[in-house]
Amino acid sequence: MEATPSVPELRGTRSARRLPAELSELGGPAHGNVDLPLHLAWSGLSRFDLDQPRLRMSCYRIVLAEGQHDDLVHYLNRELLIAMWPVLRTLISRDIRDVWESAFDELAPHTRAAA
């Protein structure tokens, strides 16, 4: 009989299916206002000024937590994600953090320490 995956494994699998193949696919804006659709920002603020660090961080937290593949590549920017990752990784769930760091060497803690 096949073992049933644990809840964290299921979450990790769900998160992994949403990922882009490479961080270079993340072509979102680096500046200006971003209006997140209702399926992402269903509670509270939906417009984020990416030039304001706190709003940029909030926007990325929402997209990482709620976004599907198309949302990730549309709203996230590769350079911003990498630059923000040391702080952002502490503000998102462990499941999401582990999936992203496992998938992309640029985000792995050992890579940043060596840089």
How do beta strands 33-35 and 47-49 pair? Answer: antiparallel
pLDDT tens readout for residues 44-72: 899 999 999 999 999 999 999 999 999 99
pLDDT tens readout for residues 1-27: 444 444 444 345 666 788 999 999 999
Contacts of 54 (CB under 8 A, 6+ apart): none
Asked whether residue 25 is domain-assigned, the answer is no
Q: Structural domain tally of the chain? A: 1
Question: What is the distance between the alpha carbons of residues 76 and 96, in angstroms, rounded to a whole number?
Answer: 15
Asked whether residue 1 is domain-assigned, the answer is no
Asked whether residue 12 is domain-assigned, the answer is no
Asked whether residue 97 is domain-assigned, the answer is yes
Q: What is the pTM of this model?
A: 0.83
Asked whether residue 74 is domain-assigned, the answer is yes
The residue segments making up the domain with residue 76 are: 32-114
Asked whether residue 63 is domain-assigned, the answer is yes
pLDDT tens readout for residues 92-112: 999 999 999 999 999 988 654
Asked whether residue 37 is domain-assigned, the answer is yes
